[in-house]
Chains A and B, each alone.
Chain A
Amino acid sequence: MKETQWMRKNHMDLLKHQRDETMRKGIRDEKYSLKNCIECHASTKDDSVIARDDSFCVACHRYEAVKIDCFECHSGKRKSSGLQRGAK
């Protein structure tokens, strides 16, 4: 895990590189997977990184006015919450 300022500057490049590694080559590095990021960074109140205006991803992206494309396809909720509730 890199420090906050580095992440703020570079998380998009990290995500972009990692998604091709995972998708096209099948290299599933758990540490760098989007699921894993969400696992920690999702809100404790609603298990989501995008549900509310102050959610982890939305807070900055709203201010920067950069539309987040990821969650059209990816779930914004932490996986473990779904598993715990037995929902699938």
Chain B
Amino acid sequence: MNDVNIRRRDFLKTSVGAAAVAIVPGMMLFDLSHGKPENASGKVRWGMLIDTTQCKTGCNDCVTACNNENGLSGGIRATDSQWIRKIELKSDSTRRELSLPMMCQHCENPPCVDVCPTTASFKRADGIVLVDKHRCIGCRYCMLACPYKARSFVHEPLHDQNPDVPRGKGTVEACTLCVHRVDQGIQPACSEACSNKAILFGDLNDPESEIAKKISSMASVQIRADLHLNPGIRYQGL
């Protein structure tokens, strides 16, 4: 055994050891950042702030974007699904006119979840209210219960659904807050498409988020707040 060999052995051992120490944490973190799946978390509560003063009468950008994103027909027959709609309002007492988009309000105490016989209508941990089409039997009771008339029933067979947004005949559906986009870290289609920046999407529970800062400093209301449902969608200018 000469010195060179011992030193080479030591060198190899040390360098392999050092390399291992350098790489292993990276391998573990790789799993985490590259698709080790995580639950929707209760620490987050997704919501929206809609500024009705920026919302233009006659503009339908959010509706069009939603239809395109989710594969809706865009039709307005009584049997067509509408996940978001523009409502034109005129005050009976002051004659003031305004318009706003109305979609599922993603309530904290959703009546649709209470009444669903099969638990198909459910609230995810992060506050998004969804219909689990695997369980929906199409009884339409949730549609009767919703104070915002947010839900639609699929009245005819559908083809060519968007692979990200499964929809089917005989089940009830509503705005999903673009859950397939939110889970990838992108904002919903309507808030992205609004040309007047009237729709702001974000985490209501994060005090540093733009939406949380805005609602803590400026007045905003929930629609039909007297029902105590605590919706995640808030409106300014109402």
Contacts and interface: CB of A to CB of B under 8 A. Distances in A.
Question: Is B truly associated with A?
Answer: yes
Given A24-B124, A35-B163, A77-B160, A29 B37 contact: yes
Contacts, number: 63
Nearest to A29: B37
Interface in A48-86: 72-75, 77-79, 82
B106 to A, nearest CB: 14
A52 to B, nearest CB: 15
A72 B169 contact: yes
Contacts of B163: 35, 38, 74-75, 77-79, 82
A28 B37 contact: yes
Contacts of A82: 162-163
Interface residues of B, number: 30
B151 to A, nearest CB: 16
Identify the interface centre among A28, A29, A38, A72: most chain B CB within 10 Å of its CB: A72
B35 A30 contact: yes
A25 B122 CA distance: 11
Interface of A: 19-21, 23-31, 35, 38, 72-75, 77-79, 82, 88
A17 to B, nearest CB: 12
Given A25-B39, A88-B68, A75 B162 contact: yes
Interface of B: 35, 37-40, 68-69, 122, 124-126, 130, 132-134, 157-158, 160-164, 166-171, 179, 183
A19 B135 CA distance: 11
Contact of A75 (B161, B170, B171): B161
A27 B38 contact: yes
A25 B183 contact: no
Contacts of B122: 24
Contacts of A73: 133, 158, 161, 166-168, 171
Nearest to B159: A75
A75 B160 contact: yes
Contacts of B39: 25-27
